[in-house]
Structure 1
Amino acid sequence: DPVSGGDLAVLVRTHREARLMQEELRRLQVACVYYSQESVFAGDEAGQMYRVLAALTEVADEAMVCDALVTDLFGFTGDSLHAARSDRKEWAAIVEELQGYHSTWLGAGLTAMFHALLVRRGIVGRLLAAGGGERKLTNYLHLLELLQDASAGCRADDLVRWLGQQIHRPAPETSSQQLRLESDENLVKIVTIHRAKGMEYPIVFLPFLWGVRQIQPDEIFAFHDQHTFQLQVDIGSAREENHRRAEQERLAEDLRLLYVALTRARHCCYLAWGRINFMEKSALAWLLHRADGDVVPADALTDEKIGNDIQKLNDGEELVHFVPMPAAGEAGDSEEFRPPPPPAALTFSGRIDTGWSISSYSRLASSAVPGPVPPPAPERAEATEMSVFTFPRGPEAGNCLHGLLETLDFSAIPGGQAANLIPERLRTAGINERWAPVVAAWLEQIVETRLMADSELRLKQLPGRDRLTEMGFYFPVDNLQMPVFNGILAEYGFEPVVAGSSLLNGLITGYIDLVFRAGSRFYIIDYKSNHLGSGYPAYTPGPLREAMRAHRYDLQYLLYTVALHRYLGRRLSGYDYARHFGGVMYLFLRGMHPDLGPGCGIWHERPDQVLVARLDDCFGRPEGRR
């Protein structure tokens, strides 16, 4: 097949280099796309969307309406806006149109309103007919999706305020905010080397490998102590050793990035190289042009020397072809260039064990026989008050709550740390900061709730030294016979797992939200933000039992129990399951309240000791276990 734009990738180090390549390719009318991690809220479209939505909430404000009309969405020019304002009949029609959009927004939602605007104003065709229109349209639709997600429980003016906050404090590290590609099917891709990690492209161009950002002795720089590996910051000590160490670390990082860049091509990689100012400080010069351990200075490198050093890479077969750069104005095609024949591929004669795999609770649960789905709890009509039951649902909201509980000191809730962290976590999750007081009170309820019927223990009482947050684990699985495993589950009333193979080898992996010690016993906690209903009765033992089975949390806590059982068996002298393991607690956060105690929102289970031992044996007992 002929080479198309979609086969080509240009890898760069910085956003400045990316913009430079993008501008030059567009000047040459080469269609290209820049893969960036910028936030959609940092773009011009976000500001224009804000002006339109703000005007729809204040249609009587003529200045705000004018501001909205000159956006890309309405497309008015200065002349057409002046003409509209001079014609009372036309202006009244425009105001009536905007009032209609506002009514649709309040009645049918933001998405319905925006689609009506797209159709009536012919926005799609108008944008696509202009340069960069596909990028703009993609951004508008992306913004619409984020606004729709944030609109739950929000009034129109609250949503406009939220959008303004995102524009002033965009979070490009949040995946949901990162710019989406408009269409990259046949476009030359411009990608930063950092983002290209793990990717592969048919043909790669590396135009800036000679570039380097040296660390200057008179600037503030960081390095690591060569003995303790602690991070050090030099703010002007003038110590040559510090600067030398920082330059070594800079070169090491450049070498790592060079490796990434040179290994992204599937078929062919082009790079520009030659005598360029400061190129002797680059990672590629360090690899190609060293003599007696030092890089040869750029002014001592002739074209012949550069060619010879590159030719040394062709040891045994021609892997690298050296072509002089054509002078400015010459034809791009060099008659001297004759692509070398592709290297012969080696024949793989080994054997790959496809029966070995890494499994987890979620993977096993996806193939498990599902438990009965609990019936939805009756909802209260028009429940618009802000409470734990109306708090946004979904993975972003769940991650927000998990992050708070993993980070905060339970004994300091409520307090300054929580007051500062809660709004930040809400912003990152794309949730309106108006929820901050609700979340603060909610967290206080959670840490003040008794965890067990026969104990006064609360999360608030757990010191940091007795907590192990986000405990990751891997434990080996050696010839796990799935019929035997399912037979053990059935004996104890658990649903079976339907695996793709009757034999499982490899590793079981997972992360336990919290392991804590109380007295001589260790406990497992898993946080669940599931919405089971809009009242505390939906979080009593009966509904919790159904939720545990429906989502296969029973399988999850058995795996977690085996993992902690093995961990304690290796680490705790004289470990005994009966004396040292206190059980598993699933905290359904929406149902926890100090007045209701452990009978609401908390599922506490201590798997039978014989069951845990049999599962441990079934997985294959690792060496070194007590």
Structure 2
Amino acid sequence: VLTSAEAKEILCWLRAFAEPRQLSYLRAALATPTLGQSWQTLDELLTDELVLEARIERFLGYQTQWQQQGVLPMLRRFLMDFEVPGRLLQRPDGERRLTDILHIAELLQQDSLQLDGEHALVHHYTQILRAADEEEENRTLRLESDAGLVKVITVHKSKGLEYPLVFLPFGTAYRAQSEKQAFVRYHDANDRLVTVFDPTPEDVARADQERLGEDIRKCYVALTRARFATWVGAAALDNWPESGLGYLIAGNSERPITDCLAPLAEGRHEILIEPLPEPETRHFTERAPEALGPALESTREAREDWWIASYSAIEYRDLAGTGIAFTGEVEDAQTQNLLEESAQQTDEERIVATTVVRNKHQFPKGAAPGTFLHELLEWCAQQGFDRVVDNPEDLQDQLVRRCSTRGWSEWVEPLEHWLLALMRTPLNLQRGSDEQSSLAGLTSLRPELEFWFESRNVQVARLDQLVTAHT
């Protein structure tokens, strides 16, 4: 993602948003290919002051939205204003490019929460792009359409992954250790890693023996990655028996490679040994994707607990505090295995989980549980705290209904005791005073105070004295 052309274009946009009156930044942003501005439009920025001023005002608006709402809403508005999604989706690679842009926008939004101001985010993003060569593969957001593409990957990086078809073209190739190397490494008798500079033939032999063991393990990895079929190229290269595959099929034998391969297929219909086919002049032509029809419309009422999430927030795991879990399979075996391992729970852990006493300290944490409690207290205030205390069965019915939709049925009783105790507990009305009142004892109340109060003809100096004296 960060090595794509779109990533560098986003940097141009961010600089223009941060400093809209810097004409060089503004013109560079508008000239990026993704915006698709015509030469005539770009020329007007140099010749027409009114057009230039209008563009500056537009980018000042983007800057204001960035400051007030964040970088993600601002970038979305920017893309829609310049009709970028519609234009990109008309191109064969448009889906990938648009997804990369939105993915980077999500990353910027997350990083902006830890930074202060637009210029800090621009500097941070610049540093990220400079280090983009070390970008990990998991930062690239995959598309379902990528499943049909050929993926070239090393055997080492394929560990834990699975593919429908696998081609291992150089099955008998290997890289032997040599005395010409500056150093070699191997494990000694105590299993300690030893590095030897200017190695002797004995050191090279020991290092090459470990290389062979590693090649055999990699061969096993390569042969177990396919879901349906694996093609292995086994050529009689120089010293091919010293490769991982060669050692497995020939050992120390000097027989021809065809004689070593033939016994593998005897009595096994799933193994086929045949010479490399001659090259053909045919070329594969990908079928054009079928046109999308109209979107389907649901004919039933949606009763599930749906939510809107960002690209980066979508994770195949239990959502903390909601009881909702993605149960479908994910794109690769490695991720699926990690999910299955994290979902496993021993019998002892289950016993401990069922015997834990639930109280307010174990209640789920985060924004969603906080909003849940806020809505409960708001409902109690609307009903009247005294009425809820006198009729706890109404509170229990409300808790059962609200907790069941979130998978928190086991929290009904603890929450009921917690809320009733909160409404009954006397609270000090002023510091240093013994005057107390509980929520249930209030005769008039406001469920939620406003952040702003309308006021007229206020003496600001007197107000400041009162605030200073009582806060």
What TM-score does the superposition give when structure 2 sets the normalisation length? 0.56
One-letter amino acid of the counterpart of residue 108, structure 2: L
One-letter amino acid of the counterpart of residue 222, structure 2: A
CA separation in 2, counterparts of 1:55 and 1:366?
56
- 1:242 corresponds to: 203
Determine helix, strand or coil for the equivalent of 1:202: strand
The answer on whether the counterparts of 2:155 and 2:222 sit within 8 Å (CA) in structure 1 is yes
1:358 to 333, 338, 346: 346
CA separation in 2, counterparts of 1:376 and 1:265?
41
2:212 to 244, 251, 259: 251
- 1:371 corresponds to: 359
1:156 deviation in Å?
A: 0.9
- 1:48 corresponds to: 9
One-letter amino acid of the counterpart of residue 372, structure 1: K
Change (3 A) 1:108 1:360: farther
Structure in which a larger fraction of residues adopt helix: 2
CA separation in 2, counterparts of 1:67 and 1:169?
23
Residue 118 of structure 2 corresponds to residue 156 of structure 1: yes
Determine helix, strand or coil for the equivalent of 1:329: coil
1:214 deviation in Å?
A: 3.5
2:181 to 216, 219, 241: 219
Change (3 A) 1:332 1:141: closer
Change (3 A) 1:51 1:364: farther
Structure in which a larger fraction of residues adopt strand: 1
1:160 deviation in Å?
A: 0.9
Unaligned runs of 5+ in 2: 285-343, 368-409, 412-471
Residue 279 of structure 2 corresponds to residue 328 of structure 1: yes
- 1:349 corresponds to: none
One-letter amino acid of the counterpart of residue 182, structure 2: I
- 1:64 corresponds to: 25
Q: Percent identity?
A: 27
One-letter amino acid of the counterpart of residue 42, structure 2: L
CA separation in 1, counterparts of 2:169 and 2:7?
33
The answer on whether the counterparts of 1:222 and 1:231 sit within 8 Å (CA) in structure 2 is no
CA separation in 2, counterparts of 1:321 and 1:168?
49
Determine helix, strand or coil for the equivalent of 2:62: helix
Change (3 A) 1:324 1:86: farther
Give a deviation string over 1:434-453, Cα, whole Å, max 9, x none: xxxxxxxxxxxxxxxxxxxx
CA separation in 1, counterparts of 2:348 and 2:11?
43
Matches within 5 A, 1:15-26: none
The answer on whether the counterparts of 2:34 and 2:84 sit within 8 Å (CA) in structure 1 is yes
- 1:34 corresponds to: none
Determine helix, strand or coil for the equivalent of 2:194: strand
CA separation in 2, counterparts of 1:245 and 1:223?
9
Determine helix, strand or coil for the equivalent of 1:41: coil
CA separation in 1, counterparts of 2:55 and 2:167?
51
CA separation in 2, counterparts of 1:197 and 1:372?
43
The answer on whether the counterparts of 1:280 and 1:286 sit within 8 Å (CA) in structure 2 is yes
- 1:193 corresponds to: 155
What TM-score does the superposition give when structure 1 sets the normalisation length? 0.43
- 1:266 corresponds to: 227
Which fold has the larger relative contact order, with Cα–Cα distance below 8 Å and residues 6 or more apart in sequence? 1
Matches within 5 A, 1:278-293: 279-292=240-253
- 1:450 corresponds to: none
Change (3 A) 1:219 1:360: farther
The answer on whether the counterparts of 2:241 and 2:252 sit within 8 Å (CA) in structure 1 is no
Change (3 A) 1:254 1:128: farther
Give a deviation string over 1:107-155, Cα, whole Å, max 9, x none: 1211110110121112223223334333322222221111111112521
CA separation in 1, counterparts of 2:354 and 2:37?
53
The answer on whether the counterparts of 2:185 and 2:193 sit within 8 Å (CA) in structure 1 is yes
Determine helix, strand or coil for the equivalent of 2:346: strand
CA separation in 1, counterparts of 2:125 and 2:89?
25
Change (3 A) 1:182 1:278: farther
CA separation in 1, counterparts of 2:44 and 2:51?
9
CA separation in 2, counterparts of 1:174 and 1:369?
42
The answer on whether the counterparts of 1:58 and 1:64 sit within 8 Å (CA) in structure 2 is yes
Change (3 A) 1:366 1:213: farther
- 1:318 corresponds to: 269
CA separation in 1, counterparts of 2:56 and 2:159?
51
One-letter amino acid of the counterpart of residue 316, structure 1: G
Give a deviation string over 1:15-34, Cα, whole Å, max 9, x none: xxxxxxxxxxxxxxxxxxxx
- 2:168 corresponds to: 206
Determine helix, strand or coil for the equivalent of 1:313: helix
Q: Give the aligned length.
A: 309
Change (3 A) 1:82 1:275: farther
- 1:126 corresponds to: 87
CA separation in 2, counterparts of 1:266 and 1:100?
53
Determine helix, strand or coil for the equivalent of 1:267: strand
Determine helix, strand or coil for the equivalent of 1:312: helix
CA separation in 1, counterparts of 2:355 and 2:266?
51
CA separation in 2, counterparts of 1:50 and 1:261?
40
Q: Which of these two proteins has the greater Rg computed from alpha carbons?
A: 2
1:199 deviation in Å?
A: 3.1
Determine helix, strand or coil for the equivalent of 1:92: helix
Residue 306 of structure 2 corresponds to residue 306 of structure 1: no
Change (3 A) 1:317 1:73: closer
The answer on whether the counterparts of 2:7 and 2:104 sit within 8 Å (CA) in structure 1 is yes
Change (3 A) 1:119 1:331: closer
1:234 deviation in Å?
A: 3.1
CA separation in 2, counterparts of 1:260 and 1:376?
41
1:97 to 49, 58, 71: 58
Change (3 A) 1:172 1:179: farther
Give a deviation string over 1:155-191, Cα, whole Å, max 9, x none: 111111111122223495778x621213346513514
CA separation in 2, counterparts of 1:362 and 1:100?
55
- 1:87 corresponds to: 48
1:256 deviation in Å?
A: 0.9
**CA-based RMSD:** 3.8
CA separation in 1, counterparts of 2:348 and 2:145?
34
1:288 deviation in Å?
A: 2.4
